[in-house]
Amino acid sequence: MKKIFALIIAIFASGAIAAEAVKPAKNAKAAQPEAKSEAAPLITLTTVEKAFARTLNNRDQLVRYIVAENQKLAKATDAEKKQITENVTKARASLNLIIRSMDIIFGIDANRVYEYNPTNGTIYLKVGTVNETFTRALQRRTILANRIVAIQNALKNEKDEAKKAALQRNLQANTQAFNQLVDALFVVYQIHPKRQYRVDASNGTIYLISTPEEVAKIQKQLEEIKKKSAEAPKK
């Protein structure tokens, strides 16, 4: 129960953080590739394989939790029913966020690649590997960010009101798509739009480019762990 509530809170927090960090792009800048500075210290965040597995697990946990809570309603008191209903509502919102994020990240857009299994006669629509889907999502984020900047620049120079209105609608649609993608990247990979990352394409590892303060904090934590380990009685 505690684990599920922690999961729900974490998912709600992720959406709020990403939404707060990515406002409608009034002063958007062209998206840059993932940072590749050799001087910046790196912290291993996750791998695309682990992120995918964790997201699937979170989704399945929420589904099981919702089913289990709904089964309690038949024998629950009025007060218990109210609490159960509130819990299920929150869990459904978290589940919907995960499902929407997975659709955005692992969706196939306009690409259609089919594979056929002659053994059972089944045709499969190929989504791609977890590495490919992650790379595709990052590329789409860059495309959307650059498109937003281009539309903003066009708006500055456009005098015709009808064309300006069309550009505004286009800007709104692209900004919405960009924000949804950023939210999805945060839900699945914990990639925050205000932080920089490096991706090792050879093994799918995502590294957070850390700040000196974070490095100092980690070193302090390691020293404390080492000290406690040294002070612990040996068995």
Query: For each of the chain's 235 residues, which pLDDT tens digit applies?
Result: 555 545 554 554 454 444 444 444 444 444 444 544 455 678 888 899 999 999 999 999 999 999 999 999 988 898 999 999 999 999 999 999 999 999 888 876 666 677 878 888 888 777 778 888 888 888 899 999 999 999 999 999 999 999 999 999 999 999 999 999 999 999 999 888 778 888 887 888 988 888 777 777 877 877 887 777 777 666 5
Q: Which residues 6+ apart lie within 8 Å of 102 measured at CB? A: 55, 59, 184, 188
- Alpha carbon distance 147, 129 (integer Å): 27
d(CA 218, CA 198): 19
Phi and psi at residue 111, in whole multiples of 5°?
Answer: -80, 135
DSSP letter at 30 equals P
The answer to whether the CB of 149 falls within 8 A of the CB of 27 is: no
Nearest by Cα to 5 from 76, 78, 113, 90? 90
pLDDT reported for residue 233: 66
Residues in Cβ contact with 82 at an 8 Å cutoff, skipping those fewer than 6 apart: none
Query: What is the residue extent of each domain of the chain?
Result: 2-231
User: Cα separation of 138 and 134, whole Å?
Assistant: 6
Write down the pTM of the prediction.
Answer: 0.70
pLDDT at residue 45, rounded to an integer: 85
C-beta of residue 46 within 8 angstroms of C-beta of residue 190:
yes
